Structure 1
Amino acid sequence: MAHDTIHYLVLHRRDPSCNMARYYILSIAPSLFGDATLIREWGRIGRPGQRRVELYENQSCAVEALETWLQRKRRRGYLLQGG
């Protein structure tokens, strides 16, 4: 993943047999202090979810963390949306 691009990924996991419809959003944004933040949002599609913001020293560290979370979620059955 290139480090100079905007990072905003939306993943979905659906299983109608289990009444499962989940989303997971990963995004990277600069903080006010010059470091980078990884923002993770998750929950049931159509409902308010949870959000966690993690601070990283620089954008490349945040990108590494994003890629790690992306791999974890894809192993659990989440699919990338719109791409």
Structure 2
Amino acid sequence: MIQLKYSDEKSHKFYTLLIQQDLFGKWSLLRQWGKIGTKGQVQIDTFDSYEEARAVQEKLVKEKRRKGYMGPVAI
């Protein structure tokens, strides 16, 4: 699991990414984001391989870091 955080004077947000395999052998990338202290929103994308899911995860981490999110913190 990778967790990113963003804080400034106006907002405190989180962005979490988790890759896991489902019962059918597919790989899911779970994304959760929102204001710190809330449950936030969740999106799940499914991939045929771990490598595909990992590539999307890395792309999202880079995008968030460019926007000022701190991390990643691997959990």
- TM-score scaled by length of structure 1: 0.84
Percent identity reads 31
**d(CA) in 2 for partners of 1:48, 1:37:** 19
**d(CA) in 2 for partners of 1:35, 1:52:** 16
Partner residue in 1 for 2:31? 40
Unaligned runs of 5+ in 1: 1-7
**d(CA) in 2 for partners of 1:73, 1:35:** 25
Residue 29 (str. 1) matches residue 17 (str. 2): no
- TM-score scaled by length of structure 2: 0.92
Moved >4 Å (runs of 4+): none
Residue 72 (str. 1) matches residue 63 (str. 2): yes
Aligned length: 74
Q: Which structure is higher in RCO with an 8 Å CA cutoff and minimum separation 6?
A: 2
Partner residue in 2 for 1:13? 6
Larger radius of gyration: 1
Q: Cα offset for 1:82?
A: 4.2
User: RMSD across aligned C-alpha pairs, in angstroms?
Assistant: 1.2
Q: Which has the higher strand share?
A: 2
